[in-house]
A and B are shown apart, each in its own frame.
Chain A
């Protein structure tokens, strides 16, 4: 796989250089203008995709930041007589700053995702356009830039603009590629699939989204500044046009939002189609045709044209799949921890309520290093809530939680992961669009702090530990339930946690599968990881647990060795009622 990596980046550079030489061919001006347009749309679509495609936060406000760039250049060059070339970085920076401020506020609000984010960014466009229209930035009549000198770097001023646009397009696609291959990109894709799980695994979601948005706006601002000179006369209506954002989105969606080259591909297709279908009566209808093509692609190829290519490639590869032999990298066996009496995790009077329902009413318990602790209790006793609270998915209302000496009660989830805690989910929540190996690598990278290559290697060894190495390159949907649970487990283990919380890992398994699962849990402990597991299936609890804690009504009512606890009258009463006690 890595053999293909270098060529892609290299290919981009070569393509860019080739395109840079086009003006030297002295072709009719039409070609340069056409290519300029292509670069323009590549920049817009790709920059949009960096946040919206990768992380799934569809922004409808790209025109706002484009416009910020346009008007920064327009104002700086006309009112302040700043040289054009100098105004460009300013254009990018202003747009990026604007985007960052907005993102800093919006991303803190947990509920603003999906279409709400889209609506909000759209509203931003209108706000900015109104400001531009009513202040000295534009004031109504627009800004004339014809008088601004454009340096002739490689020939005519027009060629300068051509090269500048090419430069921005190149930067945007290169950035998209670089991010796609980096930790940052992987984190963004994880955010798109399941943001909450990503956060709990250790991905710094806020920071990543903010940075992606800032970069996206920077590029939009840059191309905005260039475009201002290209059109030489800017108006608010044409600049802050919602249609611009929509076109960029459509191009990205057409090409494929999950790929670094998708938006560029879409931009090329649409621009070429638009230009080639001019002339005659059909000139007006060609936009209709493009709209129709877009709808058809979206419905039948949800991952765009690029997605269609990828699907074909996979099918071809699948047919020719041989045995994938990976040199078995064995997991370094840690010295098996004895069950000492030193508490690894301590909860003191932990409280959590939801809308009037007191789920945890003061839970006090401790987890000792190296033990397997079973957490049981009747329905509604608060077991899952406790796990969610300890892992940082929910905030506690009161009480203390101390992990290995650190107070984690009010720490953000991704930091708790870094401190050595991992969890699995009752219904496995894998990142459905990442491959199995990447699911696990993500945890190794963000929870365990490894780099990308090391993460992948570690991931493969963890998959071997759980018996999934043959399925490393498959997608989670292709696995059966037991395999997905083991994937969850491998992912939890890949961050090398000191404590792992298992939430009903045995539910839904056949007795034979259950035996496999129990065996794996014991191996996990033998490697040195402390295990807390929530379970209903009593036979399994008696079999597996060193110690058992019983929750009822949000409080601990008993704890001790399993058989002893299950005979405790309080426990019997909690489960069966008075008659049986």
Chain B
């Protein structure tokens, strides 16, 4: 479904991601793990159209995304839950969700999408008129996920959802993600937190300094020395 082939992304001169290839099959939950600074956010931002790529291709269902304007990407079924949540904090919870389905096709199904999001996150229904900026970290994460769900994505991109959250909340968030996946949405999850990510993923890639250094199923990778090396250096 999603094919990334030999992608290279740079910030000005600084090459952050190079020669990265990965795939996500329909309804699959794939995770990319790696230490801080490995280029995970750069990778996801490039797939979501927020960053230009220097070389390589990104294909969704065979269609080259380079030809699609950034603001049109959500019409093709990709939605992003960005690092740090990036909510519109001066707007209410419901307004944030509504921006999620700004695209015409999604907008038509606004009513039922909203209902579904509130069913998944009941606490948001209570807080629908609260300003997003005044919510707790965990609640904000839920709004961010809900906002992405409103776009009715076939592929959900999640960038470090556990960042800055207390452990119990992190558990809840990952439960929700697993649930979304169970509903049939493909997920590409980028995470620093290996334990949680490996618990729900079917396949994993390890990113270190902009390159993929290992890939496989979580159980294959679990005790792989390369992961320890990537995070903690050679022992």
Contacts and interface: CB of A to CB of B under 8 A. Distances in A.
Interface of A: 357, 378-380, 427, 480-481, 484, 504, 507-510, 536-539, 541-542, 562-563, 566-567, 571-572, 575-580
Nearest to B133: A355
A539 B228 CA distance: 12
B233 A541 contact: yes
A541 B231 CA distance: 12
Interface stretch (B8-16, B48-56, B142-150): B8-16
A141 B227 CA distance: 84
Given A507-B37, A538-B233, A566-B235, A577 B11 contact: no
20 contacts: A378-B35, A378-B192, A379-B163, A380-B163, A380-B164, A427-B11, A427-B14, A480-B13, A536-B36, A537-B209, A538-B233, A539-B233, A541-B233, A567-B235, A575-B231, A575-B232, A576-B231, A577-B194, A577-B195, A579-B222
A577 B192 CA distance: 10
Contacts, number: 73
A508 B233 contact: no
A394 B194 CA distance: 33
A580 B194 CA distance: 10
Interface residues of B, number: 29
Contacts of B195: 576-579
B193 A538 contact: no
Contacts of B231: 538, 575-576
Main secondary structure of the interface of A (DSSP, over half): helix
Interface in B58-75: none
B160 interface: yes
Contacts of B14: 427, 481, 507-509
Given A378-B36, A378-B192, A577-B193, A538 B11 contact: no
B83 to A, nearest CB: 9
Contact of B16 (A504, A508, A567, A572): A508
A536 B163 contact: no
Contacts of A510: 15
Interface string B21-43: 00000000000000111100000
Interface in B183-235: 192-196, 209, 222, 227-235
A571 B229 CA distance: 14
B224 to A, nearest CB: 11
Nearest to A541: B233
Given A379-B36, A542-B234, 12 more contacts: A378-B36, A481-B14, A536-B37, A538-B229, A538-B232, A539-B233, A539-B234, A541-B233, A542-B233, A572-B232, A576-B232, A578-B195
Nearest to A484: B13
A508 B235 CA distance: 24
A391 B209 CA distance: 28
A571 B233 CA distance: 12
A577 B35 CA distance: 12
A427 B11 CA distance: 10
